[in-house]
Amino acid sequence: MMKIALDATPLTVPSGGAKRYTEELSLALAANFPEDEFWLLSDQPFDGPPNVPSNLKTGRGPRNLLERRWWLWGLQGEISRLGIDVFHGTDFSVPYLPVRPSVMTFHDLSPWLNTSWHAEADRVRNRTPMLLRLGLATMLITHSEAVKKQVVERFHLQADRVVAVPLAAARHFHPVAAPREGPPYLLYVGTLEPRKNISLLLGVWREVRKNHPIELVLAGRRREDFPEISSEAGLYLRGLTPEEDLAPLYSQALACLYPSYYEGFGLPVLEAMQCGAAVIASNDPAISEVAGDAAILLDPNDQRAWIETLESVLANPQQLPGMRVRALARAAQFSWTKTAKLTREVYGQAVQRFRKKN
């Protein structure tokens, strides 16, 4: 039996990849390892996942001024009280005192590659390299081999200290057959933020719409550092969209577009494929790793290539059924059960590595 604590801070925000990751991973770990005990810990109030197994528990936050210094004192006190064996920082963080094994999830390098992508990520930019330099993270998890290579090279880490563990789409993402009236639509699902290349998406759709009656649906919350998008005919801004509405949106779209400049994994691509959607995405290394040959991958800076590809798809819709079949086959290779089992192996490696070091 092992007691494992996971940082629940990502659960304090309404949406985002880190939130989805923390929810799905904690549920899958608890379900697949009933002999272990899992604790969600944060210094901020959060809503835990629904329908949790009995071995997934919620800890308490800081109780006094000293414990408000969470990463130095408060968290240490809580994990000592609970008898935690391994701490998993699900979003770039681990405790500041190396008194037990820890695992850090390093989602991607976007905070360091372009500061305009994350204008408010100074804390991560400054703190995380220090944590790595001091060796406070016993092991690291990335979501793709592409990001593992980037992390090892940029921060000069031992390759065996970093393990690529792919994500998965939730089970409720599946093909939904339902009649739909009106023109076909293109779909983007994700946060509206600078890194996602929304300007290319809008430009491509406007050009294609000159020759085809096609609409564009953007489903995702707008981050504060992203400018508001003016309304126009054929454009639908759904904002933060309930989970139960996403599978029908994916399933009924003519194609799902994801022109992001850079990703650590690209979970909306996998969600779309698990719904049997045709996907056109950027050729970012991590997205390419996830999509394989089940999507059309294009240069995120080449607007003309995106326009020509969509024009071709609209002119030759007979290619879409084949794309949908390949998408479903590719998505079937991922699962949260597999993610949980690989993550649990990393916890074991962290324990062994910590014992050898100490």
Q: What is the DSSP string of 119-168?
A: TT-HHHHHHHHHHHHTT--SEEEESSHHHHHHHHHHHT--GGGEEE----
Which strands, in side-by-side order, build the sheet including 139-142? 56-58, 37-41, 3-7, 86-89, 102-105, 139-142, 162-164
Left (φ > 0), alpha (ψ -120 to 50) or beta: where does 131 sit? alpha
Residue 18 and residue 46 in contact, taking contact as beta carbons nearer than 8 Å: no
3-168+336-357 and 185-331 share one CATH topology? yes
CA distance 137 to 105: 9
Which of these, 140, 105, 99, lies nearest to 357 by C-alpha position?
99
CA distance 76 to 268: 35
Tens of pLDDT along 114-126? 888 877 778 888 8
| CATH superfamily assigned to domain 185-331 | Glycogen Phosphorylase B; (3.40.50.2000)
Q: Helix, strand or coil for residue 267?
A: helix
- Output the pLDDT for position 15: 78
Which of these, 303, 319, 311, lies nearest to 212 by C-alpha position?
311
| CATH superfamily assigned to domain 3-168+336-357 | Glycogen Phosphorylase B; (3.40.50.2000)
CA distances from 57 to 9, 19, 24, 26, 90 (A): 15, 17, 14, 10, 16
Q: Where are the beta strands (DSSP E) in the chain?
A: 3-7, 37-41, 56-58, 86-89, 102-105, 139-142, 162-164, 185-189, 215-219, 235-239, 255-258, 279-282, 296-298
Q: Helix, strand or coil for residue 317?
A: helix
Q: Domain coordinates of the chain in residue numbers?
A: 3-168+336-357, 185-331
Tens of pLDDT along 59-91? 988 888 878 888 889 999 999 999 999 999 999
CA 348 to mean position of chain CA atoms: 23
- Output the pLDDT for position 67: 80
Please enumerate in sequence order all residues whose Cβ is within 8 A of that of 207, keeping only pairs 6 or more positions apart, or say none.
Answer: 307
Q: Which residues in the chain show pLDDT less than 70?
A: none
Q: At what angle do helices 243-252 and 267-274 cross, to 10 degrees?
A: 70
- Output the pLDDT for position 186: 98
- Output the pLDDT for position 118: 79
CA distance 274 to 189: 14
Residue 286 and residue 344 in contact, taking contact as beta carbons nearer than 8 Å: no
CA distance 105 to 270: 19
CA distance 227 to 294: 32
Q: Tell me the torsion sign for CA atoms 242, 246, 249, 255.
A: positive
